[in-house]
Structure 1
Amino acid sequence: MAIDLTALRAHFPSLDTGLAFFDGPGGTQTPRPVADAIAATLTGPLSNRGAVSPSERNAAHAVEDFRDACADLLNMPAEGVVHGRSATQLTYDFSRHLAKDWRAGDEIVLSRLDHDSNVRPWIQAAERAGVTVRWIEIDAGTTELDLDSYERALSPRTRLVAVTAASNVLGTKPPVRRIADRAHELGALVYVDGVHYTAHHLVDVPALGADLFVCSPYKFLGPHCGVLAGAPELLETLRPDKLLPSPDNVPERFEFGTLPYEILAGVTAAVDFLAAMDPGAGSTRRERLAHSLGSLHRHEQALRARLEGGLAALGDAVTVHSKAADRTPTLLMAFEGRDAREAQVHLASRNVVAPAGSFYAHEPFTALKLEDPALRLGLAPYTTADDVDRVLEGLAAFL
């Protein structure tokens, strides 16, 4: 079976504009069922959570449904699902929570492949705690992580390893389980940035070996927010600064202020939408997600091959920096003697949305000496072969 693209695309009002979107790594378009869920929750009746009035119960159900949906998406207990305003905010929060137990002389290991949201919060927390930062480097020839440098970075003093499950600019997917297993041998925690990965693969947090895993629903058809998942027993050991009267049970002790119930409902709707793209015969939402996201992966891989073949045909005028053997359908490229922003403007004149920049990937751009800006093309569930042909024709005309 396969995803019915015509039926799927009919759910996206933004596609009626005729635009072809290649900016999915920065945020996908939103299907109508997600917007409807947000509007229906927001217009209520809605109050703060409780069990007395219908409006209170609506809020409580929005929270429960959100945790259950994310639990199915990530293969984690609902009690381990934490809402945040963004993945960046959650990582800053948890860098402070974890750093409370760090001591001078401890070490953490970061990756040169990562978005800055999984780098700068840890560096700043380490500076405050007197903790040493060590690095996993990138192999410039393959754009994959250099695991020999990882071995050199580890020590009995390592407290945390932070790594991405997929690069938001290069698409590179490191061997997270192998990285996690080595960290756990030394008693270190593993924090995984799954923001880009979750948009393209069925996530299994325990199988990845992640102790804490963060993602962003707006990268997979949902509203703007962040989600963190961790084992409830691990979350029980962390003591954030919090208001005295606020709940202290896990996961609510990590959620500050009144939750945005309408946004939570939108996340639930997005997970349900993903599960319905090509649901197969699954009796549970997790099974339907597995089937749908498997079909999505095959769809995106076929389009990626079409895109890469077309770019290769453009010759030496295009340099594609995404080289890893295992990667998402995301390509970063530069143009000989041309500014990538000119390419962005040219494509926009043809109703093709493809951004140029460095996309908060400070470490990869610095380590690989990439030209800033570079053009990024990312595929999404609603991308078609015609979209790919349009962007290739646009780039050929630009060159």
Structure 2
Amino acid sequence: MFQSFFPQPKPFFASAIIWTIATIAFWYTIGANLGVTFGAGPLAEGTEPIGAAYFLTPDKLYFYFYFLLCGGIFGTLWRIYDREHRWLNWSIWGSIFIIFSTYFGVLVSLAVNNWRRPFFDLLQAALERKPGITAADFYILLIKFSEIGAIAVFVFIITRFFISHYVFRWRTAMNEFYMSQWSRLRHIEGAAQRVQEDTMRFADISEGLGVNLIDAVMTLVAFLPLLLSLSKHVPALPFLGEIPYSLFWLALAWSIFGTALLGFVGIKLPGIVFRNQRVEAAYRKELVYGEDDASRAAPPTVTELFGNVRRNYFRMYFHYLYFNAVRSVYSQADSVFVYFFLVPTFVAGAITMGILQQILTAFGQVSNSFQYLVNSWTTIIELLSIHKRLRAFEAVLYEEPLPEIDQQFIEAGGKEELAL
């Protein structure tokens, strides 16, 4: 699944994680300060330009250079270390491009959040009928927002186009790898489906989850400093009193609670979804055989196989019932959670409408990043079930025991039965 596309997956991903942590740590301890020395330090709160100019400030240009330098060093070292891997350019340089474009997408969110403060402060002043507010003031800010939107649309289109090719290259790599071993794999139940469909879905879902994870990390890197600075406007919380960096601790605690809760209630779902793929594959396989062999797909056999399909679907519906109930309740509570703790700040009139919009956006971004598992749990369940199917291929290739759930398919009377 991975070695066909990435060079030596275990050391590659381990080195990528270590390198990422090291470069982030260096940035926050030394790298950003070097930018100040070179005249590329961060601008003071409230002084950053609005619109397209936001992306061209000295501190942003300096970070672009730092990111590309770190990515270039990592890619070059792996290029030197493993020159023979066919898909190295796509897997390494393509991944670096996707990471950078994902970061730029986060930067767009920061630019929009930077726009919110002057716009909503202006709106509040207009609603209070303060003198000196003109229509031109609003039109200027709306034009600035359009500049950000145009950049966002361009980056999105280019990124999605590239990712589509990236995913297909990954699928091609897996397809070539498995087909080169087809003589050893063809006897596995559902082998054709695993090569044709599961590789496609695995590459697509893995890329999606990977991009979302990168986006979550990049969002934390970008929005955490903003949320920490905005916490000064909310020094005390109901029932909890004064807490330094209160908004950050709220986002962290709420996200950990949600992740643990959904992880607990959804723990059985990956296995159930996997079983569903198996019974569907067994049913489809018998029908395909019946197209060419009159002795196959007899009514008793089809009835039994479809009975397995029905039982597993009903079981899956039941487990998704309580999982979706818990997820929906958490989602509804999440939409009002931060407002509950901001009520005393509202009553005290300690913030303006613009600051409130920035707080809500920053808190939502940080909270959603911490809730990566919450937001992706259903997709992760699907990926785990596909991973279980493809692992049977690798177990055969490396002469390992089949995964436990595959061993539940046993030979009995010349046909496969599912031990439910």
TM-score normalised according to structure 2 size: 0.23
| Structure label with greater radius of gyration | 2
The structure that is helix-richer by fraction is 2
TM-score normalised according to structure 1 size: 0.24
